[in-house]
Amino acid sequence: MTRVCTAPWLDGLLAAGLSLPALADSSATMHAVSADGVGDSIGAISFQDSDHGLLIHPQLQGMAAGLHGLHVHQNADCGPGTNDKGETIAAGAAGGHMDPQGTGSHEGPYGDGHLGDLPNLVVLDDGTAGLVLLAPRLTVADLDGRAIMIHSGADDCTDSHPGGDRAYCGIVE
């Protein structure tokens, strides 16, 4: 069985169909990305501080159903860039995951690794994502000057390959 990084309470929320109204402290319009550049918008993700951490409210459509890795990336740039092999990759200009403490460790939003790890994004069978997520170690202020990245697959909270290719990107405003 493939390991997937989720909060222990996620199954209950999914079963209840929980969603909250749109949040507005900060937001990022999300766009499809490829090695050729930034494409069409698929919606937006809003962010709001709470007593328990950063609330993440996606309002997205047109995505493949399932879990998708969601991360805060270092740079506020969704353009193509080169990886360490010299290959042009989608949203490479966003850099790596936000890691202000230099942990170099990918342990998920509930671990002690870098702060760029967010909970997996849940996309329903109809291609929409609206389930509110919680990142307990972040605030809206942490997102300033950063990009939000959605990957093609689920994040397993390990350093192996967190979430697959970069599929969608947005700049936090």
SS (H, E, C) 72-122: EECCCCCCCEECCCCCEECCHHHCCECCCCCCCCCCCCCCCCCCCECCCEE
Are 162 and 155 a contacting pair, CB within 8 Å?
yes
* Three-class SS state of 146: coil
**Residue 103, pLDDT score:** 83
Each domain of the chain, given as residue ranges in start order, spans 92-104+136-150
- State yes or no: pLDDT of 8 exceeds 90: no
Residue that is written with structure tokens 């909270």 in the block:
157
pLDDT of 149 strictly over 90: yes
Is 8 or 79 the better-scoring residue by pLDDT?
79
Q: What is the pTM of this model?
A: 0.85
pLDDT tens per residue, range 29-84: 999 999 999 999 999 999 999 999 999 999 999 999 999 999 999 999 999 999 88
| Beta-strand runs (E) in 118-172 | 121-123, 133-135, 147-151, 166-171
Hey, what amino acid is at 3?
Answer: R
What digits encode the pLDDT tens for the residues 117-141?
A: 999 999 999 999 999 999 999 999 9
Beta bridge partners of 27: 46
Q: How many other C-beta atoms can be found within 10 angstroms of the C-beta atom of residue 112?
A: 10
**pLDDT given for residue 108 in this prediction:** 81
